[in-house]
Structure 1
Amino acid sequence: MQILDHLDKLEFSPAYVIEEGTLRKNCELLANISEQSGAKILLALKGYAVSSTLKIVGEYLSGATCSGLFEAKFAKEYMDKEIHTYSPAFKDDEIDEIIALSGHIVFNSLFQFERYKHKALEAKKELGLRCNLEFSLAPKELYNPCGRFSRLGIRAKDLENADLSAVNGLHFHALCEESAASLELVLKEFEAKFKPFIAKMKWVNFGGGHHITKKGYDTQKLINLCKKFSDTYGVQVYLEPGEAVGWEVGTLVASVIDIIKNEKNIAILDTSSEAHMPDTIIMPYTSEVANARVLATREGEQVSELNNDEFAYLLAGNTCLAGDVMGEYAFKQPLNRGDKVVFLDQAHYSIVKNTTFNGVKLPNLIFLNAKGKLELIRKFEYEEYKRRN
């Protein structure tokens, strides 16, 4: 985490800081897995889409997976490699452009497949179907794509009498921040339910949710699983991680604006959990902070006790939302107005989801290159709020 050595040079706050060194390290690991396993790896833009860094990602990965027209256009503009596009439902007024941009198009239902397959075939595109395994190891129901009543994908029993002669591949997604051991269990379910269809395919996409770049992930097991599956069925395997590309690549740097006391010391920051770190509220989870440790979660659940030589602060956002709180943290030194607070691992699923709620300024985008130089990627001002409203 190089940014801690450069905080005095950071003129703008709040700011997401993307570190080239960690990004390349993640991508090098993914490229090595691709080389050893034969699987092609795509960046899932839904999780990480910092435009100025996609050229770097493109040096290592095979392309991008997109969730609709805008992401497909984005992938074409900033990566221009393989583009795979899936959506729960494509629209008539967008499908022609999606077909033109994408090499692979994955349909969510047999109705949509039949509706658009002739256009895609005329354009000589690869056609796929998303499968609902009715089995998932996602840790929360909110992130379970194969749960009861799920709209995502087609069940095996619904494919039994379908004409799949024009289908080139199958796609499934059943993981969220999971291990290679979890993938192994998911693959067993996939093979058990979809085996009659797999052998007829050219490719199979194992989806995302693979925590590949997290310390302790069993990369050799992943390699073995991909190779075995590919050899067994004679198909090209795809993986489409998003979080694994952006894992620990970026931080959110904020400044202390004011400190007030209401039973506890409360540091008000120039950022917002609601607007700038939405998953801390949605999941929820409590972000780690550099040079601090968590005492209590944002919901107030006690995690650890304060030591005698530490100073406790409730970190809070600068909005009128009462629950815009990050958590309570222990620091080695007292916080002062103007001090920087660094939230760790905020590149993925934060930048792509942030908002201008309450008129709060969007964090600037900063790139910390391999030589230790800070580069301003984008500075957000009032016009961004005005344009959105």
Structure 2
Amino acid sequence: MKVNPLTYDGLSRPMYILEEKRLRDNLKLIARVAEEAGVEIILAFKAYALWRTFPIFREYIRATTASSLYEARLGFEEFGAPTHTFSPGYTDYEIDEIARCSSHLVFNSLTQYERYHVRARMGNSRLSLGLRVNPEYSEVETLIYNPCAPGTRFGITSEKLPDRLPADVDGFHVHCHCESGSDVFERTLTRIEGRFARWFPQLKWINFGGGHLMTRKDYDVPRLIRTLRRFKERHPWIKVILEPGSAFAWQTGPLVAQVVDVVEDHGIKTAILNISFSCHMPDCLEMPYHPAIRNARLADEDGSARGEHTYRMGANSCLSGDWMGSWTFDHALQTGENIIFEDMLHYTTVKTTMFNGISHPAIALLHVDNELEMLREYSYEDYRDRMD
């Protein structure tokens, strides 16, 4: 069916919609950065894993990054290439299959390396091994997303590394960012080199992790390219890898929901929707942050900027706190009306739950000709099978 991407009129059920044109625009920019900077940029599944769209991705990138056995299998079997894999802790019952599905395997600690490096390479002789290092510096302010916060479980600090790395260690993995700018990366890179440059002559590659939000409108792309080029000039033998997730899916499509009722208590009107923030937009409660709603503005919580048509967005779960902000519209909301939550593809479809047995939004791809292709619809069986 053809739809109007401005309004999505005609939809009567909740739906995540990936807009192909926006996705391709992001992919083109990412591919240009990779080419001009002379680096490799790969997709991190933790932010986006819609495998039905991998044929589009393969036109622009060659590899992906995984953090678990299932992600590694997804990259190997559905993307069609071994993954760059990191996990805080590999296990006896998964390490062999993870190694089989991977091109690069990063260990979080020296003890994990000692336990599994021989076994991993026995299962895959082409495997390139690395260590995750912790530069003890990150400008990520939200602690739940700061991998370098004191007490972190991620990575090896410089004082714990031996002067001579193990002979089969080819690279370092460093992750310090979350939706960060190129200025942050430039400052962080100074700290990384300050702590770890003396090991660089022993490396073949370095992975600077994710969080490089290069597709955001205000991101300084030329600065990122300059920073990467200068690093490569200083260390020309090292292959540089970036593995953003959000950057690929940033602003590539909404979650479209519908109003099913409007209730009022103590002067607060709430629009009850057929979705759940807890289930379908978990970062809104976890981070927390307010999603953007098309053709509405966020009202001040103290009520000073509330208009006549101001509503809380209320979910249809039984969790009392499953609501999000107050929003002012230019009209009274009506039952059946679409509420369009912007930018809902990254860190949503990979994190949703079926708590309360609430009907899960479908997933669709909007092609460039505005033809809507259904990628996945969910049913009672999907909920039931999770309870097996």
**Correspondence 1:68 to 2:58:** no
Deviations 1:56-106 (A, max 9, x none): 112112310000110010111221135100000111111111111111001
Confirm or deny: 8 A CA contact 1:317 1:325 kept in the other structure: yes
AA paired with 1:381?
S
Deviations 1:111-156 (A, max 9, x none): 1112221233342211110011111111211111011111111111
Runs of 4+ in 1 over 4 A off after TM superposition: none
Hey, what's the Cα distance between the residues in 1 that align with 2:352 and 2:329?
A: 27
1:145-156 to structure 2, matched below 5 A, reads: 145-156=147-158
Indicate the SS of the match to 2:293. Answer: coil
Identity value in percent:
40
Where does residue 232 of structure 1 map in the other structure? 234
Confirm or deny: 8 A CA contact 1:18 1:251 kept in the other structure: yes
Which ranges in structure 2 are unaligned for 5 or more consecutive residues? none
**Correspondence 1:253 to 2:256:** yes
AA paired with 1:373?
E
Q: Note the C-alpha offset of 1:6.
A: 5.6
Indicate the SS of the match to 1:168. Answer: strand
Where does residue 352 of structure 1 map in the other structure? 350
Confirm or deny: 8 A CA contact 2:270 2:314 kept in the other structure: yes
1:155-194 to structure 2, matched below 5 A, reads: 155-161=157-163, 163-194=165-196
Which ranges in structure 1 are unaligned for 5 or more consecutive residues? none
Indicate the SS of the match to 2:299. Answer: strand
Where does residue 49 of structure 1 map in the other structure? 49
1:269-288 to structure 2, matched below 5 A, reads: 269-288=273-292
Q: Note the C-alpha offset of 1:260.
A: 1.1
Hey, what's the Cα distance between the residues in 1 that align with 2:55 and 2:4?
A: 22
Q: Note the C-alpha offset of 1:162.
A: 5.7
**Correspondence 1:34 to 2:38:** no
The 1:96/1:268 distance shift into structure 2, 3 A limit, reads same
Hey, what's the Cα distance between the residues in 1 that align with 2:186 and 2:53?
A: 32
* Structure 2 length-normalised TM: 0.95
Where does residue 119 of structure 2 map in the other structure? 119
Confirm or deny: 8 A CA contact 2:252 2:343 kept in the other structure: yes
Hey, what's the Cα distance between the residues in 2 that align with 1:33 and 1:140?
A: 28
Confirm or deny: 8 A CA contact 2:95 2:120 kept in the other structure: no
Hey, what's the Cα distance between the residues in 1 that align with 2:120 and 2:247?
A: 31
Q: Note the C-alpha offset of 1:164.
A: 2.4
Hey, what's the Cα distance between the residues in 1 that align with 2:72 and 2:121?
A: 19
Hey, what's the Cα distance between the residues in 2 that align with 1:339 and 1:167?
A: 57
**Correspondence 1:203 to 2:201:** no
Hey, what's the Cα distance between the residues in 1 that align with 2:65 and 2:33?
A: 18
Where does residue 289 of structure 1 map in the other structure? 293
AA paired with 1:30?
I
Which has the larger displacement, 259-268 or 75-84? Answer: 75-84
Confirm or deny: 8 A CA contact 1:361 1:380 kept in the other structure: yes
Hey, what's the Cα distance between the residues in 2 that align with 1:204 and 1:3?
A: 44
Indicate the SS of the match to 1:116. Answer: helix
**Correspondence 1:140 to 2:142:** yes
Confirm or deny: 8 A CA contact 1:206 1:239 kept in the other structure: yes
* Structure 1 length-normalised TM: 0.95
Hey, what's the Cα distance between the residues in 2 that align with 1:204 and 1:48?
A: 22
**Correspondence 1:328 to 2:326:** yes
Hey, what's the Cα distance between the residues in 1 that align with 2:248 and 2:367?
A: 17
Q: Note the C-alpha offset of 1:3.
A: 5.6
Deviations 1:257-313 (A, max 9, x none): 1111111221100001111000000010011101111114xxxx3486135xx5111
Indicate the SS of the match to 1:250. Answer: coil
Confirm or deny: 8 A CA contact 2:45 2:65 kept in the other structure: yes
Where does residue 373 of structure 1 map in the other structure? 371
**Correspondence 1:312 to 2:310:** yes
Where does residue 8 of structure 2 map in the other structure? 7
Confirm or deny: 8 A CA contact 2:82 2:102 kept in the other structure: yes
Count, aligned residues: 381
Confirm or deny: 8 A CA contact 1:58 1:81 kept in the other structure: no
